[in-house]
Chain A
Amino acid sequence: MTVDPRSGIRDREGGLGYSPSSMIDMQGVKKVYNSGLIALEALNELSLRVERGEFVAIMGPSGSGKTTFLNIAGLLDSFDEGRYLLDGQDVRACCDNDLAQIRNRKIGFVFQSFNLIPDLDVHDNLEIPLRYRGMRAGERKARIDRVLEEVGLTARRHHLPTELSGGQQQRVAIARALVGQPQLILADEPTGNLDSVMAGQIMELLARINGQGTTIVMVTHSPELAARADRKLHILDGKAIDPWAGKKRGAVVRARSLEPGR
């Protein structure tokens, strides 16, 4: 039996079975939605690995299983078969409280529709994950100040989401994802509701965050946006297909070369 010294996970088959550098390591993950007599296989033994610090774009047609993958990757949904190690931790062995803690500390979410709470202002929206972490008010404020400055919304601190443009709302959503200093950001069509100028700004912001070492997995329909990622993956009929397998290095170099100051 081999024990990973970092995560403490044991592999009964004699090897570690995952790369210690993986942020996401899914093997044979299966997810079936049962609706009465109909069983819909959303993920069909999907296997993929996302390394730490990678910026991965997930593409695929509607209904291919992209969002299901993202939900499972973000511990927002369960899966039926297979194995999922998040940052070396087997998520199937975790109870609900552990999963909530992992979501709170390790994962940041960015949604297409922003998902800001409409009756809370920018500051209060950003405060939510920190409150669940049990952080003191002073530390919460310092973190929020820092992250608002990073996304350029310091002046909008006390604005309600409805008083902001779509791009600004998405920056708030990104700030909320960042405020907990997560290792992984899962973005589901983050530019889907934005015009091309705003979309460009958001992509630059995500690239900058990735440049600071945060792993980003982004679902997108846009090949242009996907081209800005280190690596592109396709999900088709619930399986992951890596069209750039063997050419990954080049993709990484190309994506990172777009970032300013790198």
Chain B
Amino acid sequence: MFGFYLRRALHSLRRTPVLTSVMIIDVALGLAVWTLAFTAVEAQTRYPADRARHVYHVDWGTMPSFDREALDQWQRVVSVTPHMLLSYRDAERMSQHPAVARHAATFTSQLAVDAPTGRHGVAARFADRTLFDLFELEFAEGRPWSEADGGARRASVVLDAGTQRALFGGARALGREITIDGRPFRVAGVLKATPQQLRAYDFSFDSSPAIYLPLELFTELGARPSFATHGLQRDQTMAQLLDSKVGFMQLWVELPDAGAQTAFAAFVRSMAKQRGVTGAERRPLLMTPSAFVHASVPVSSGFLLFEACAFLALLACCVNLSRLLIVKLEARAPELALQRALGATRGSVFAQHMLEALMVGALATALGLGIAALGLVGFNAVVPDRPVEFAIDGTGVALTCAAGLFAALSAGVLPGLRMCRAAPASRLRLT
């Protein structure tokens, strides 16, 4: 019977090509606008290194007690991010759990760097070397510091592409020296340029260019964290900071399977209990890089407004499609009434109509995705100062398909019910 319904739906769509085209274009435009908006918002919080698998951010899962919605974006970052930080000792203890295959602890600071182009205030990221491996960061040249470097490891840094430009004026940096706090450091590697793309362990895409240094150096350099929980004091010594409960470390762990995740989560939970952490697990204890970004990075309210407007536009298109489907059904009413006279139930008439609506939805989704893809290509071409490279990914395609399905179903239900509720006699062409 499905084949018969499908053929009838196809015949029906082909019988009124203009109306069918208008319906498809109507929904396609709504979907395209919604997909563009969704992609723009998603791109702001998208984690680019999707290859990082089985990697989780660990914290206590606490949240600020005040209303986040009342805060502006920056206040939100500042209010939320400390809740995602661990003290040095807690991070150290967690990273030693047997379920953890690999780990990377990291935090940011600000350092004054002397380079050929002069003195610069630079964001410095102190990290375990495994950070580069866990996130599969690509190098334009060189490599991270390693154990094999021996003593040189302690005097090696990695630059990102932006920092290389800032410190060396575009000249090659590999193997050259910079000075931090009067101490020379050799550039061991330069990360491949990513056009201002968000890295999961950064809290926002607009963070300034950074240099990466071995974690163990931060005490020697006296680097104080840029973000920390309450309790960080100016006159605190490094030794006091290490032993304090002040949270300033991000901890990323690799948990290779579900068993390891469960065991590690239970361990963190028991630690939270021991430590008397209040309000733990208001968020998940373990977050994928993507979930971490979504939880920590505020999305521009302009983009959210755009997304809301786009959703309204999609709803308007659904309403319009519903009206067009009513017109189409009126034209098809005698045939459907005839089918009911010949033995079709209300359900089968409704199913035929919904199949037709779904076919419109499917065609509109394909067209809408095409329009959105073209729109993003144009957007990338004309907006040079964009935060990220906009593109529709698999999630975007899946959500657009879901939105297309939603549009078809929501627009089709009312006309379909209206049609199948009517007595066949009222629609049958009798003369």
Residues of A within 8 A of B (CB): 67, 71, 74, 76-78, 96-97, 100-101, 103-105, 109, 111-113, 115, 117, 119-120, 128-129, 131-134, 176, 180, 188-189, 192
Confirm or deny: B378 has a beta carbon within 8 angstroms of a beta carbon on chain A. no
The answer to whether A109 touches B341, judged by C-beta atoms less than 8 angstroms apart, is yes
Chain B residues, Cβ within 8 Å of A111: 428-430
Given A76-B341, A117-B338, residue A132 in contact with residue B428 (CB < 8 A): no
Confirm or deny: B171 has a beta carbon within 8 angstroms of a beta carbon on chain A. no
The answer to whether B342 touches A128, judged by C-beta atoms less than 8 angstroms apart, is yes
Chain A residues, Cβ within 8 Å of B345: 96-97, 100
Given A112-B430, A117-B335, residue A132 in contact with residue B342 (CB < 8 A): yes
Confirm or deny: B117 has a beta carbon within 8 angstroms of a beta carbon on chain A. no
The answer to whether A100 touches B343, judged by C-beta atoms less than 8 angstroms apart, is yes
Binary flags per residue of B392-431, CB closer than 8 Å to A gives 1, else 0: 0000000000000000000000000000000111101111
The answer to whether B15 touches A119, judged by C-beta atoms less than 8 angstroms apart, is yes
The answer to whether A78 touches B423, judged by C-beta atoms less than 8 angstroms apart, is yes
Given A76-B428, A129-B343, A133-B343, 8 new contacts (CB under 8 A): A77-B426, A78-B423, A109-B341, A112-B430, A113-B430, A131-B1, A132-B339, A192-B431
Chain A residues, Cβ within 8 Å of B1: 131, 134
The answer to whether A100 touches B344, judged by C-beta atoms less than 8 angstroms apart, is yes
Chain A residues, Cβ within 8 Å of B423: 71, 76-78
Chain B residues, Cβ within 8 Å of A97: 345, 347
B177: min CB distance to chain A, Å: 80
- Nearest residue (CB) in B for A33 is B426
Q: How far is the CA of A120 from the CA of B424 in the complex (A)?
A: 20
Confirm or deny: B346 has a beta carbon within 8 angstroms of a beta carbon on chain A. yes
Chain B residues, Cβ within 8 Å of A96: 345-346
Partner of B11, one of A76, A78, A119, A131: A119
Q: How far is the CA of A258 from the CA of B78 in the complex (A)?
A: 99
Instruction: Please name 15 pairs of A and B residues whose Cβ atoms are closer than 8 Å in the assembled complex, sorted by A.
Output: A76-B423, A78-B423, A96-B345, A97-B345, A103-B342, A109-B342, A111-B428, A113-B429, A113-B430, A115-B429, A117-B338, A129-B342, A132-B342, A188-B430, A189-B431
- Max chain B C-beta neighbours (<10 A), residue from A132, A134, A176, A188: A132
Partner of A131, one of B4, B338, B428: B4
Partner of B343, one of A120, A132, A188: A132
Chain B residues, Cβ within 8 Å of A115: 334, 338, 428-429
Given A76-B423, A76-B424, residue A128 in contact with residue B339 (CB < 8 A): yes
- Nearest residue (CB) in A for B342 is A129
Given A96-B346, A119-B11, A131-B1, residue A74 in contact with residue B430 (CB < 8 A): no
B218: min CB distance to chain A, Å: 75
Binary flags per residue of B319-350, CB closer than 8 Å to A gives 1, else 0: 00000000000000011011111111111100
B229: min CB distance to chain A, Å: 66
- Nearest residue (CB) in A for B339 is A128
A176: min CB distance to chain B, Å: 7
From residue 156 to 206 of chain B, which have CB atoms closer than 8 A to chain A?
Answer: none
- Nearest residue (CB) in B for A133 is B343
The answer to whether B425 touches A112, judged by C-beta atoms less than 8 angstroms apart, is no
Q: How far is the CA of A134 from the CA of B2 in the complex (A)?
A: 12
The answer to whether B431 touches A77, judged by C-beta atoms less than 8 angstroms apart, is no
Chain B residues, Cβ within 8 Å of A77: 423-426
Chain A residues, Cβ within 8 Å of B344: 100, 132
- Nearest residue (CB) in A for B426 is A77
Chain A residues, Cβ within 8 Å of B335: 117
Partner of B341, one of A103, A120, A131, A133: A103
Chain A residues, Cβ within 8 Å of B339: 128, 132
- Nearest residue (CB) in B for A96 is B346
From residue 223 to 261 of chain B, which have CB atoms closer than 8 A to chain A?
Answer: none
